[in-house]
A and B are shown apart, each in its own frame.
Chain A
């Protein structure tokens, strides 16, 4: 699957290691490549991982309070948050809390059912890595990110929000506005 990081298609350095393979066996961790693990697997291997010199990414479940990730953060090279379906928006709150409250500065990846119509709000919530579900969506990344230039509310993403941008501007009277509208419609 393609990986987009900060707007560019990049090679995924991390290997997703499953909890179990098809035969029901626990697949071994590769010796030297960075690994991306579920929370279960990560907790089981905590000791081994602490002694190995591999970079570790953690997939945090979307039904577990994100505050509980805090003790592990210093040891992680990547955090992934999951969208089981694009309609399940819990990971947006997790992402903002991770960035804005827990101070996570490392890469934050959106995985699961990730579609182009959500790229921009994912970025606003703090994701800088996106794994699109569809190849065509990856190609449209740039368009999707630039479909809006106006943002009403502040998040931690640094984009300027309207709450303050419009200060000090004068309003036009309704009658003037109405004649302007008529002009625009004509």
Chain B
């Protein structure tokens, strides 16, 4: 993984000192709350329903065991003993006191972790594939480019007060695990016919109250131009993005209003002026960043070692192996997903003890490295296959081996009305109830891949628009109601879900989801046809007929 040097460390120390000073000025009254708000937000500090919330960036989803251990420490000392992993490769602590925040940040900064630009109207944490560097599918390690963008965007003097927040995601594999089509900018790394590395550039994707799938404005951008091209996009947006209405301020609205073509023309015109300037990346600069990513010393191993074959006799291990273990690019190694979705628990939560367990396991079996994916699960990207049985035993003992990755109970949910000041409805208890209904693993295996996404309000932090089944909480006359959409997806074929019918009450949701699943089992052409493909083939009508007939 990338190693911070003294420059990064000096910057972090300065940032902590700066924030400590801002908190003191706020407490003394020199700063009004209105003036303090954007400053604290740019350090990841929100004011939630019950307390301040600290959001910590996990750049491109990569953590060292020591960093995760320090997060466990923060959860234990300054919070209530747990943290919540979000859909943007961040972690949130929900119960931190304002006066403790500078010290918590100083503790985190010691291991190179911070909340910088996890909020505010700036370029946010750049996200990517949690399998980066390990999957055989990728054209290059996308984290190199995410790191180049992280550095470029950190405390950018021109783009710190944008019209609205700005999110960039990168995929380097054709199979998109980073949801690049629903980001403000999505970068799809690939090679052209000449074998040169470059990005397809998508802009204007996003969810929230006005969801859009991103539009391609450039099919191939040679990698050396990535910073100047992003700067051109940002400069057009900063000058011409709407600032009169917070709900129309995202870049997707600008792209929609003037059209992707006109937007692309403006970007290209700006880019022509700067493409060969100070931001052009030389091979030397790229190689330097690349050299700062240190890869494990993989041993020469064979696939399917005897230890693994023997362990597969155990049906519980075999079930976990088939569900949570994925192909690695180095023979004899695997990528392991750690489900943070045990049946009946809040999706994405991990206790301090669990974080310590995962950190220890990463030290023992995973070259000290952990990943966080946008599906709110963790991942050990580099595990020797012969170690899988022992790893599984220890994960299982810590409640971290639920073999439900990509199943209906692997739900993405926002914190909802239990924590969030913006929410209209609860999300976590809905997820908990659905996962209980589908706790039987044989049943959920039979259903196959099915992503359920739940948002507690229209801001869509649970990405409900792109869930195979999307659930959106709304408020009607002081009561929680839920709208259901079908057929959304966040991958390389990204599309928005279609509304199934009238909203239903809180109590009706789990039953309705069961009816939808039953309808799918009846309608699918074969057990190989995924839920989302059945919806795509038939539309929502046959589901609607069956589901609402029974309610």
A-side interface residues toward B, CB under 8 Å? 65, 86-90, 92-94, 96-97, 101, 115, 117-118, 120-122, 124-125, 136, 147-155, 161-175, 177-178, 181-182, 184-185
Contacts and interface: CB of A to CB of B under 8 A. Distances in A.
Given A87-B38, A89-B161, A152-B11, 17 more contacts: A94-B239, A115-B35, A117-B22, A125-B158, A147-B18, A148-B155, A152-B152, A152-B154, A153-B227, A155-B158, A161-B278, A163-B151, A166-B5, A166-B288, A169-B288, A171-B294, A172-B3
29 contacts: A86-B38, A89-B158, A89-B160, A89-B161, A90-B239, A93-B158, A97-B235, A117-B22, A122-B157, A148-B11, A150-B8, A150-B14, A152-B152, A153-B151, A153-B154, A153-B227, A155-B157, A162-B7, A162-B151, A166-B5, A167-B285, A167-B288, A168-B288, A170-B291, A171-B3, A171-B291, A173-B294, A174-B367, A182-B66
Interface of B: 1, 3, 5, 7-8, 10-11, 14-15, 17-18, 21-22, 30, 35, 38-39, 64-66, 70, 110-111, 121, 151-162, 227, 235, 238-239, 243, 273, 278-279, 284-285, 288, 291-294, 367-369
B34 to A, nearest CB: 9
A161 B152 CA distance: 10
A95 B532 CA distance: 49
Contacts of A167: 284-285, 288
B94 to A, nearest CB: 24
A121 B157 CA distance: 5
Contacts of B152: 152-153, 163
A120 B18 CA distance: 12
A92 to B, nearest CB: 4
Given A136-B30, A163-B151, A174-B64, A89 B17 contact: no
Contacts of A136: 30
B121 A87 contact: yes
Contacts of B284: 167
A115 B39 CA distance: 11
A178 B243 contact: no
A96 B231 CA distance: 12
A154 B228 CA distance: 11
A154 B279 contact: yes
Contacts of B292: 171
Contacts of A170: 291
A185 B110 contact: yes
B159 A89 contact: yes
A162 to B, nearest CB: 5
B39 A92 contact: no
B193 to A, nearest CB: 30
Nearest to B291: A171
Nearest to A66: B239
A120 B66 CA distance: 33
A127 B288 CA distance: 32
Contacts of B157: 92, 120-122, 124-125, 153, 155
A88 B1 CA distance: 37
A87 B164 CA distance: 10
Nearest to B65: A178
Nearest to B15: A148
Nearest to A161: B278
Of all A-B residue pairs in the complex, the 10 with the closest CB atoms, nearest first, are: A89-B161, A124-B157, A121-B157, A150-B11, A154-B278, A171-B292, A171-B3, A92-B158, A152-B151, A178-B66
B32 to A, nearest CB: 10
Given A124-B157, A171-B292, A117 B39 contact: yes
A93 B235 contact: yes
A101 B277 CA distance: 11
A156 to B, nearest CB: 9
Nearest to A122: B157
Nearest to B148: A163
A162 B147 CA distance: 13
